[in-house]
Structure formats: structure tokens, C-alpha cells
Structure 1
Amino acid sequence: MKFSAYMQEWLYGNEGYYRNVRTIGKEGDFYTAVSTSMFFGGSIAKRLISTIESGFLTSSCTVVEIGAHKGYLLADMIQFIYTLNPELLQTLTFVIVEPFSANQAMQKNYFEEAFGDAVKVLHVKRLEAFTCKEAFFVANEIFDAFPCELIKEDQMLFIEKDQAFFETMDSETKAKAKEYGMSKGELCLEYEPFADAMNQCCERFEFVTFDYGDKEARGDFSLRVYANHQVYPFFALTDLVEEKLREKSDFNGFFAKADITYDVNFSHLFYAFEKNGIHVHDYATQMKALVDFGLVELLELFAQNVSEKQYEREMNKIKTLIDPSFMGERFKMACFRKGEA
């Protein structure tokens, strides 16, 4: 089978990695910005408020998180909205796009524990099943989990009988590789359908997303497996590299038990959205984006209401988000808009 089908089964099949409830953070396979500090969601909430105050969206828009895991990001946003502009909680609608029932149940339980009856969150299984007039979409680390093809010149990766090998590329993949000007690396064919679905479901929106990667293709493979905070280059788990570069484990041993991911090529993402008439409003490192969104102002407000020890503890978490040697430069923010004059 093509590698994209194998990756789809690994992550989203009946026993897939994301189909079951997974722990993210110290006890899981990896950290995310959401699991690091509540100020990640707080900064995005401040961005939402600014977007409303600027007049691009109204106070009755729908706030939609895609790929919410336990729902911590949206919950953090709601908590900061309550602190900064509580009246908005009476007019905003909150939605999570979540395909898996177990995750939906987990998210509902978390919101009930956090907010009781004060906040209602609606669920839809697919973006295609959702419609609204105006929305603020948010996502953290979703595009690195879109199944991709691995291409090398005129070949692409296949998986058969637990073996990985390169064979001649099919015509669809070949055409897309030519369109994107790619000859080696990860090629995702799902960005364009995703952008089309977002375009179809909403008349006017802002979409803020964070992920790791770069603006241009690196011309090499970045596919890797995360297991218990250890990183394994995918090809080091196969016999496609010389023996001295191989890991002791085989990639099949990690199937559906660990995360598999790759660097996002943001130029491909931009192309997919622009092809659907959605323009790139902003692009920045995570560090710059969070500061631009209002992280410093939030910290000043926080410092006025907590002890020095509490402030220092939170600052240590935030350093992970913005330090260039951690998440600050490695992760990027992209902001897309539809409906802007």
C-alpha cells in the first residue's frame, strides 16, 4: 500500500494511535504548547478578542477548535475570555471538530468539570458537516498528522508485508509533486481538500494554526516516530539505510502505539489555501506570534494577581513556548483569512 494509507491506518485506523485516548505531556510520548502552559491558549484568546474588536469578526461568531485532544486549548481560551471580556461568553458559540466518540466524551466531561453549565460546547465529526456565517478557527499541531507520501525523484514509498520500499510514483502523486516543485521529502495531498472544506463551511473566518516546520521544503525526509519522549527517524527503523545507522527497533513495532509525524512545509499549506481563495494574513515564529497576540500584557496582568513564586513557576513554563532553543523558533504560526476586503 502507499505510505499515506499506511500512515492513515497507523494514526486513525480501528486501533490507531489517535483513535484511543492518549496522554500528552510528561507521562505521554511528547509535549505540545497546550500541555506546556495555559498562556498559549490565553494568547490566542487575546488574539480572538482583538479580531472582534477590529471589526473583522463580530461578537456572535463561532469559535471552532480542530483536533482538540482533551479540550485544554479551547478551555484555556474560554477561561481567558472570561477574565478579559466576560460579556463575550454570552454571545460566542464554541464548537470542537472531533471524529472519535471516545475523545468527544472525554472533552464533554472535561468541560462539565471545568465550567459546569456555564459554557456549552458543540461537537461535529467533520469540518464538512459544519456550517456557519463567521468563525474563528484554531488548531495546534494538526497538519503534521495529515497522512503524506514520501517521494524521491520519480519514486514513492510503499509498505507491504512489513517491509518499506520505493517504487515508481503513481500519476496523481507525480502531478502534485511537479505542481509543488518537489523531488524529495514528504508530500501531503490532503491540504487542499481541507482548505476547500473550510472554505465551503464558512462565509467569513480567521484561522490561526501552529505547527512545526519551515516555509520552504527542506529537500529531505523529516518523518519520525515519537515514543516516550524518544525520537526515531523513520528510515532508521527500516533496512533502507546502512546497518550502522539503524535503530534496534523496527517501525512495525511502533505501529499505532507511538506518534508518527513530519515537518510541515508551510509553502504547500499556503498554496492549498490560496488555491481556494483564502489568503495568508500572517506567518511568524511561535515566539513572535505569541508576543504579537499579547502574551506580555497577559503576563503583566497575571503578575498583579499572584505571588512572586507563582509568577516564576509560570514563567518557567512559558520559556519553553518562546525560547528559540525550544518551541519558540521551531514552531510556526500561520493565520489565514477569508472575507477580508
Structure 2
Amino acid sequence: MEKQQLIVHAGSHKTGSSAIQRYLFDNWQRMDGVAYLNRGKPNASPWMLQAFKHDIAELPAFRSRQLDAADSADMRKRARSVLAEQAGQSSAPLSILSAEAIGAFNLPELQALRDFVSPFFSQITLHQYFRPIKARMESAFQEKLKHGATTLEDKFPLAYCHTLDLQDSVFGKENVHAYKYDSACFPQRDVVAHFLDKLGLKAAQGSVSTPVNAGLSLPAIQLLYAYRKFNPVLARGDRALVRKLTELRGEPLRFNSALYQKLVVLTQEEIERFKERAGFSLAEETDADDDIGIRDEEDLLAIPQRSIEWLHEQLGPRLAVGKTDLQAVASMVSLLAEQQNRRG
């Protein structure tokens, strides 16, 4: 049997991966000559971590399971068995595997992935989007805050060059494709349309790409940051709380250039080397948002009155707290989390 082509979409994080995955998961069976490799979920990251990540037991998502070496080996065997079954059964000319976790694989893990899928596919290409540096930092801060306590002291080591170096060495430079995550460059400003176009695919008839994982506004992030000061560990109801906070509108989170310079761990030499390899620059005008950008924790905790009013509207007079000090605000956000959790 003639072997087919495999497209590995490796993210990266916060570059529309969820939208691409959801679209492919929902529509691949209506797309001619395409198979979407999945384990019942749009995002294959947990599956790929189980199959190839060497330190699976130490990852936050798996740590609570207290896996020993035998458990990890059994998990790896089962995950790889499903991948082999799907790859072996597919007769489509083009198969797609989408897992942003692959974008963070180290050299042995990338090699293990390549060696495992190579018998099934005549060609393997890897596709990855990269977000401009400052925007990536702002997005990463928000994501960390959603999943637990974080501070404005945490550095952001962005190993963009190292990532491409590893992928080039494993798959071959000609098979690794890097794209700038910039909606202004996408057809209809849609990353899904851009991804399909790069693969030479047409959208499934009647399908529509929809946004996934909407970000939080600055007012919402401020409330969540205040809540995390007193509730640093992810708790039951926090996911529902984040969903509710997406309803609080306002300006986006932006870092002041001074804060950006304090937190970024990336040299100008690395920025230039990435530009030479990828064919586009990730540099930005870092002071473009200085008039609205936060400079420190004091700015982040300067919660506007309209956010307090929004909390009162959600909680009602019976639960709303009259005081507006930081702990009182955190208490109201905690009540909102409990309320949303009860509502399911």
C-alpha cells in the first residue's frame, strides 16, 4: 500500500490552535482526502504527551496520578497503540495530527515521534505558528493566571530559535514550516482559513470557523489577579469563573515597555537569527501601548469602579460586599466562582 503524507501541527500555544483543532475535528470527514488523527478530542496534546513525553509523571496535568515507571510505560504503550492503529488504517492521502504540546518536545521526544510515525507515512511536515514576542508574553501571563497564581516577577524565556533548531534537525529544514501569527495576514483574518490554504485544502462545504478560547479583558484579569492573591491554588469552580469573566468587557491586557524589558529573556541576536530562519520578524514596537500598558502590580490591582459595579450586578444585593478593599474584592470574586459552579 502506498504510504501517505502526515501534517504535524505543533501549535504553538495561543496561536489559534484550538480553533484549528475544533474545525478539523468537526469537519474532516467532509473534506476529500483528509484524515484527522484523534483520540476522541480535538486537541491531541494529552495523547501525544502520553505517547512520547519522557517525564510524563512530573507534568502538572499528570502529577496527581502518582505514576510510577510501570504506569508511565503502560500509558505510553496504549497511547502509541492507538496512534499506530489510526495511522495504519487511514487510506487518505493526507493525515493531520494537531497537538501544540509537540512544539515543546525536546530532541529525544521529537525523534521518538518521527521514528514511530515514519513507517506509516512517506512524508512528514511540521507546521507551527509563532506569536510576536510581547503579545506572546501578555497571552502567556493570562493563561498562567487562569490556572493558578502568578506574578509580574516571572520571566519569559522564549526559546523560539531553539525550537526551530530542534525541529529542523529531526524533520529536515525543508519540512518545517513557520508562520507568523498575525490576523492581518490571514484570509478573512481567520487562522483556520490560513492553515487550510497553506495545506492546499478547501473548507468543508457549509462549515464555519468559530473563535475558541476567548481571552479576558484587562478588567477581568484584574479581578482574577486579586482573587488569586488570596486563592493561589486552582479550585473547584475556577473554570466556571473564568468563563464568566469573559463577559466583562474592556480594553485588552498590555504590558508597558518597561515591564516588557524587565521580563523578556531573549537577545537581539536571537531575534535576528529567528528572522533569518523563519523569514519574518517577531519584533514589535514595544512602546506602542505605553499609554495603557501596565507597569507593575500596583497598576494591575488598580481595579476600576465599573468592575466593582459589575460584580455587584452578578451577585445581587444579598451577596455583594459593600467594601472595596482588595480582600473584599477577592471575596466577591470567590462568591462569583461558587455561584457559577453551582449553576454548572
Structure that is richer in strand per residue: 1
TM-score greater than 0.5 by the shorter chain:
no
Larger radius of gyration: 2
Normalized per residue, the structure richer in helix is 2
